[in-house]
Structure 1
Amino acid sequence: MDVDWREVSRVAIPGALPHTPPTPLTALAFDVHQDLIWTGNDFGRVTSFYGSELQRYTSYRGHDEGPVRNFLFSDRGIVSLGPKSMHVSARRGLAKAHITSDRMFDLRCMSYTSKGTSEVIAGGIQRSLLTINLDRGTVINELPSEDDIVLMRRDRVICCGTATGSVNILDPNSFKIIKTIRAHGAHVSDIDAQNNVLLTCGYSPRQSGYVLDPLVNIYDLRTFRSLPPVPFPAGAAFCRMHPKMSTTGIVASQTGQFQIIDIANPNVVNLRQANVGNYISSLELAPSGDALALADADAILQLWGKPDKIRFTEISNPVEWASVPSPPPNVDLNEHTPLNAVGMPYYREQLLSAWPSHMVFEVGKQAPKIDSDILSKMKMHDFVGYAPNPRRTRRYQIESTKVLEKPGQVQAPKFRSEKAREGDFDDGTDENAPWSAVTGELRPFDVPAMYHKVEIKYSKFGVDDFDFEFYNKTKYSGLETHITNSYSNPLLQLLKFTPFVRNYALHHTARNCFSETCLLCELGFLFDMLDKANGQNCQATNFLRTFSSISQASAMGLFEEGTPRSNQSLSGMIQSLNRFLMEKISTDFKSCPIEGRDEQTMENALITSSMTCIKCSNCGTETMRPSNSFVRELAYPKKAKALGSFSTVLKHSIERDGQTRGWCDKCRRYLSLTTKKVVQEVQPKVLMFNAAAVSPEAKMYWAEKNWLPREIGIVVQDKKFLCYQGPELNKIKERNPNVVVYELVGLVAEVTGEQDNPPHLVGLIDVSFSNTEGRKESNWHLFNDFLVRPVSQTEAMNFAPSWKLPSILCFQQKTETNVVDNSWKSNIDISLLFRDHPMLPTSSTCRSLTVDENPAPGTVVAIDAEFVALQKEEIEVKADGTRETIRPSRLSLARVSVLRGNGEGEGVPFIDDYIHTREPVVDYLTLFSGIEPGDLDPMISKHALVSLKVAYKKLWILLNLGCVFVGHGLLKDFRIINIHVPREQVIDTVDIYFKKARQRKLSLRFLAYYFLRENIQTGNHDSIEDARTALRLYKKYLEFEDAGVFEQMLFNVYQDGKLTNFKPPGENEAALAAAAAAAAEGKGATISSGSGGASAGASASGGGGAGVGAGGLATAAASGGGMFGLDGMSVGSRPMTPADAVGAGMVAGAKSPVQQVVQPLFKQQLMASPPPPPPQPQILPQPQSHHHHHHHHQYHQQHQLHQLGHQSPPPVQQQQQQQQQQQQTTPVQHRSFAKVMASPPPASPQKRSMQGRWR
């Protein structure tokens, strides 16, 4: 700390109102991430200042019940503490959360716990410490405290200064008191802890009152021993340790004197005096150690430091300031520009357009024009015409006002949730054919609606709410957008419907290839997923993720991000990707060839072999060099007198002559060289061409109608390449059997349009090539990402240079058509599932499969997966304040667990893989995934990490072996994993325990509590625990089905879950609620420590009581001496449910605000009930004989219901009715117990009132 420190600047904190005097600051703190100082006053207002000039930054009221007491900071915002609330806000002042609870009485201080910035412990003048989860915004635990806590600092441990002068040392994990240090005679004034050193200042009692101690006490937090104190005669009121110098600190008095102390050398004295008009109320040292802030009782904030090097943090994040108003945009006026795009100037005179009211008249809309078809069938009677109604509109609707913006455009579909709310009303429009010709007549340069770029819209329910079926009603699946490099979707679809590539990809995937960059494996996974999806939307997430990790592709400019579109168009990118992909999958095949086939098989089937003849123009020396190519690029003649055929252009492209300048070995100098390519033989199974339709000459060829042929024939004779098409091809096939005929499989085309329709790529593919039943006729389809629809061959093979041009053409030998080889399914290498596989690391949490446990079709396995976020969602906030999701968050598989579903090892995991993630993780989602930072880092992780491909391939093998997956919420898990599992292989407990009429799906935690009597997910999530719980719930469902009571149990869980908001109860809060209800009644409450629960008795005159024990609680009924006991495990002979707790006057597991609502209502209900008459003997009529068998069956069914183990009891309303029946003096009609369960009686008016308040 430099000796030339001085006051740099000061600023007056304004009062609460413009004409009120300033109030002293109650909280002061430096921001640890930005150059900001934060202050708080008595009125709960938070104010921040920027930089050394103390420029005012933000100001807002965070608390309305009292002063601001403390601040904490994180990279997400700031946390301020008030007496009865905790406020979380962004640094710009926008509120993120406001946490209140009736357990907050007078909070004074807080600190982060060992779980980082997501959990805070707070204390104050109250007999409890509260742990608060900032992500959830709830109080998660309450710890008893014998002392009032006024100060809190955290180092290795949490140090709490008390009002009695002692300092309690707390363990940061368990929050138990490790040591209590008696530091001062009265209360503690200030403490600070850093580098295992604790400084304390405090008061001591004197005859005249309490005075500040003239010493600063110092303690070693490693041994909890006292070190020599440092004298400060002025009275130490504030103390701070220097963040950089471990033995240096600052001590200040209330009068403005502060001293820089050295713990190692107490004799060194360095004093300063601040110019204050009143006493100092706060002092704080910056995290960098280069600035000191003082605040006095006159609300004056002073900043001290060295003027030329003052800074608040070592590495400061930039401060976000208010946006500078942008200049008015330049409006391009054209026929599409709306008139309101031009702003009106300010005016003082009345405009000419402001017509007086007596000159303005409302005129009705012009009558709609009657269709000529209707007029032709009209019959005149007198002067009135009559015609049959064609029923083209809704009932009572005269005309349809649904007008499209322009010809060829279609409106976006509604979300599924909107359709569910509006019902299935038929408005007369054909929604199944949204792309029909009713959209209007198209001009030659208009882009049809089906070619427009499609975008996924996100509602508050996510992507699952988007109606993909609106765009695809075929059995061929489309690929989603909003994934990086998804421009490759059309090419992937084209390869999928090329039988040769599909067969080799799937056979290779079934082998034991473990290369993380193998695109051929990823193609196999993708092709299999598209086959199994059967028309449902898919996404190429894993393929594109692997593709994005290849550095060679990045060097070639094949990535969307970072590639300037001005240098390379989409068509150029997809053509470059085509060349790269053909070569890459050929190389990948060599690394793990198919058994019985040469490693060169795939390369020979894709390469066009040729030789390049290089001739020197000077000496005439000819040199031959091999020139093999996976993809050929079409070259168009520049000065042709007439447009040639496609076969002519193809021959010109293959045998292209050219000139270049190069080195001649014979002449020993650079000369002009002529080159010519000579094709030796035609052997590829697949011919790939890049159209390269860029030049005006090329576009002229493609503008010709029917220029692209359906078939071409190629033959090599006398080292000459010959190509035929049309009638000429039919003749040559009869004369020359060596002609190889190729058929057009499909193509990739670039669609360009106006500004509102950006360029994009589509695929036009003949899907009949992959028909296993044999090809009858062509079947062309348009693949526009997730829009798939059939088109005619003429539509597919004709182009318009103004908006549609081809990019890639794919031909395949005609002999390979419909050769779809699915034998790979019986040759899958399953060694990856077993322990002895060299690529499988060992794990202590699971036991791998043995040879005797080879999975077979129908094998039940339980699965659960956890994910981390690689990219946060992109949200656009509109001018009206609404938020729209532009791109959702990108999640990645982090852990997957698969358990045995049957047999001796039922519930034992055989897969528990943590996935090594190469991409940076932006959020580990620890509260929901259980994944901690470092778990996915192979350098420090304590788990056995595998690659994403290895984990994925295990699931893919189980899928293709026919295993049945059991889990909870598997639809979303499988989507993120990027695998499609057929419905017949999925058992989802979300769907099993779901009533469509209730429109609510139940959580795994609530189902586990209700049916299994287990509390799961009490800490972080564990995928093994979740998978095992889902498996047990499925087994429980089978028991219910066997007993024939599943529908009744499903009814019960919704009835009882509604009372607790479908959340498991907390036993402690339930006990407190019961005791409070009994105490409020004033009839005697007994709190017992017995482990068997509590007891409660009621007198014959209707007295009620409640008891709370260590095992649970008990409450007497409010009427007629009726009594039932709740011990936390049973009610009589059955388990306790949340319904019992609510019926007894408390809500198990409810939060404090719920207790405030339910308990007074229950008390009012008890007080309003008159004393019941003494019970009288009653005679119930016996049931008739012909009903005996029916009642016996119902009783037997109800008996099974209770014997299934830990089932939900009947609703509480049944017990209330039984008690009311006992009070009645007249005989009542017999009603069996099973009947009451099947049809619960309606709640009483008082009960309905309470339920209404509950909701």
Structure 2
Amino acid sequence: MSLSAQGGAPWKFRGDATASVDAITAVEFDPDVELLWICDAFGTLMSFSLQAQGQGEAPAWVNYSSFSVSSRPAASIFFLNVGGERMVTVADREVIRGYKRGGVPMMCLPQPSAAQSYIDLFQANNATGAMFYTGNAGLTRLLLDDQQTEQLTVPTEEATVVALKQCDQWVATGSATGAVYVRSASDLSIVGHVAASRNRVMALEVFGNTVMAAYSERSATSFVKVFDVRKMSEAVTTIADIPSGNVTQMRRYQDGFGLSSDRAFLLSPGGFHIIQLDQERPIFSSSPLSEGSCTAVAVSPSNMCAAIGNDKGSFYALAHPATCDDYVMSTFVQPVRPKHPVYHHSWEEPNIAEGFDDAADVGALASTWPEEDYMILTVPQKLRCINYESHSIVTNEWGLTRADSCLPDPKDKLSSILPNPYPFNTQLGDDPACAQEALLELRKDVKRKHKSSRGGGGGGGYSPMEDSLQVCYSVHHKLDWRSYNEIAQRAIGIDNSFPECWITPLLQSLYLCQPPEFPIRKVILRHMCRREFCMTCEMSFVFSNMLATSASVMGMKGDALPPIVQVAHLIRTMRQLRAFTSAGVFQRPKNRDDAVAKMHLAQRLVLETLHKDLQDQKAYPFMNYEAPPEYEGAIASLFGTEFTSNGRVHIEPRFYWEVPGSALKVDEGLQHLLKQLEGYKDQVQIKRLPPIIVLLLNPEHSNLKPPTSLKISRAGKEDYNYVLNSNIVHLADDVEDTGNFLSQQRIKDDSFALVNDYRVTAPMKMQDLERLVPALRSYSAVVTFYALDNLVTPPYARLDDSRAPNLWHLVGPLLTNDVLARPLLRDPTRQAFKSPLSSYTEIRAGDLVAVDAEYVVLKWATRDGGNEMFYVSQRKPHMGLARVSCILSSEDGDERTIVDDYVHIPEEIEDYVTQYSGIHPGDLDPLESSKSLTSLKSTYLKLRALVDGGVVFVGHGLAQDFRVCNIVVPRKQIIDTLEMFHKAGSRYLSLRFLAYHVLGESVQEDEHDSIEDARTSLRLYRKYEQLKREGTFESVLDHLLAKGAETSWYVPDTKSMFRDTPQTPPVSVMGSPVFEKMAKAVAEVEDKEDDVFDMAVAAAAAAVAATTDDDDEDEDEDEDDTAPTASEVLEAVRRSLEQ
């Protein structure tokens, strides 16, 4: 951007800087100190100061603070005065937040629930402290006064408010219809308005008695009308012929050196314009920006400085031509010291609220970012690749064989066999140049129709290369998973229930890298720390589940587990880590290139987090576990490219390589890059190439294909031979389609399998895999793993086999002493669970452990309306584990509760489903809970210890419990009473039904209790064993099914005092051969209770009658009024029963 070349420019260019990796949404100058504030599209607020550099160098913009303030882009930044201190104020969707300049939160003001459901447009007055915002209910005014909030909401006359602006006296709103309403800032009463027109209001500005409104015309031009609040019926002046049809922002300022002091910035995508209120045309129009479009503008309080942000994350600093070399932004004036000061003693703390904090370290970054391992990531320019090979349509090779991958929903009533949606070649016309475009349009139309039919629960035909259908998790155990995974003994599929499951190809690449050694897998499996949220720990748990699942497939075929594992806990943990949240990894991608950029970002963050977790393991030791020597540098030794500078300074290992866009082939590009680095011998030298190379390819979805082998030669040094281990592939229809990710994994030698969520193909040659690519979708490899052909496992892990490590003795002590729960307990002595065991070794292999779990519904993003192809639709809400109870039983009658964990859930809970979970609000909050609260990680490790200890789990519907617990249990260690009391083709019996009819017990009458449910499952199994020994189980089950159908599976509520049902036992109980004697005894007892009840009613009636007779003697009332009421009868019955 250059203004010097434009004569008569009202501003001069004073430098630029890059502030973010995404668009700048707001710019504002600090009113008190020399700071420029920037907010980007990720909701991150940053401040910059202009600091002098070395002698002869121009001043540069230096970052002072940076912190996350909002879950959405903030459009405005304000500075409110609270308690004599300025706070930077922004609005989120449902809350208004204020911060100190260093990032310390000062205010979190939720909007009144009765006022609005959300905050749309937001404005605040720095002088009066009044805040205004629009939402679903209209316009709201908030005023902070002595920490009290005054609130006023009025409806708006406009259908859609697109602009909001305020000053000390007025508040103006503009609509898409062209109407402008001006209200009083004190009571929001309307003082004037501009009628609707054919033009749309783009921006507003209000000051004094003047209102400025920018309109867009259909002729791709804009104009600004200036109104007087006292006479809004006609415009005072009109500034026309603005060469832009899209004015993004208008900012008024005063130019004290011009002929007229009132001027304004008008931003447009191509540049900016300066208008003057007494002129009919813009007085200045800038040339187009060198990069990006203008998105935000600000003018300093001194009116001598300005700043403009663009959509590329950069901002430009402007200065008034009348300014000197100093760039003074604020109007702050240092107070003059009096000539004769009066000194006095004061016990008050010195006021450090103005400007910077005196206590802050001037050399440190004053923000919420961590100081150690801090680095600023530069954003590389988008790569341009030469298309040296064109894609052509080959007859009969369009990947039309799709029926083999169809995964129908079991509840689908439609036909699962769909006709082939593609036309014959004769329907594509005679012009070969139009065939590809015609096929692409047909493809989009078919996808739209199929998506709409899937919304109703239907299935559909999807090829192995397309995004897998999401499976309803309530029927996981009913599906024939092996038909979707042809090599379950080597590769395990991953569940795709969460929208963030697009990241799972990275897990597969780490898990399957370099067979049969699998060095990365073995390194991660050895990690264990005590942090509540640790990505490497959760990844280790996922890999253990995958190994346990593969072991079951390789063992007994009848006991093979479904070849699919859950990653819900891993994704939930990653969403709690600052590195992933601040980078916006899981935010919705905008288009195809943005989706690829997020995968590249996720790859870098995963490797960096793995490296950091291994280094921090000694700082967070888990009990007595000690990592092997050299373990903390394992990721760096496997992935890191080590550099030296001038032979002395060692640079941090780099975990990835970006292939230059000018390369025609991957190996040639890397060879050229290495030669360039080796050429700078005085600056940078490569010390060691990594055993595993991770390449980031094709950011713009070009067709650069990785070869199956890679040879890197270095002058005077040994050659490196690498083999391809995995490709993460992205498929998309066009530039606007975010597409889906899958991976190609090397299984053995030069055979690769296609892994797409739970869909895993048989191993085949790479060229055969490429034939599965639909000709209608753009195909590009974006992340590639290469490993040395002679790479072996680190020495400390060479003896590890292909089974998951046994953690019985490592984590078993948690069963008696939960050290991970202590940080979450307010009163550990009262809240901590008291185990009946003196040592975990009292639990023996083969002991029965009854288990039951309760869940709550998490508030989770299910589907984004603007991007159907990336965030798949959900069939059921996401459940979070809330409580787990385990009862140990070594023999009949032994029922000891060894686990009763309430699980801490940091996410927002949408529904506690208290009736079915027994969980109440506050039970899972460390600040309010009175329960034995612990972490999700601790609960998993306790269950893992029991699994590795060889116990046998008993429960009712254990498949669902283990799925939510994210643990894999071998079938030989599972006894499920849901399956025991089930006959093929008949209904599954509920726990409450079985407890009432088989055990004669009533459960789940009010709220579910996991201890009660686990104990009931254990007793059902004991009864099952008894019936099996007596040889009567089959007849009892048949009788229960028959009587259950006869009584509509009704279970009476035995806690009701006055029952509406007959006083005799249910028919199913009376006719049961198991409880023939019990039915007779129950009838006799209830007959006695009926006699007592009748006697009590009679006595109560007599007592009430005597009372009313006494009352009749004193008062003369009607006969109806003296009759006993129902409440009086009930109270008399209660007293009689007590007697």
Normalised TM-score (structure 2): 0.48
Q: Which has the larger radius of gyration?
A: 1
Normalised TM-score (structure 1): 0.44
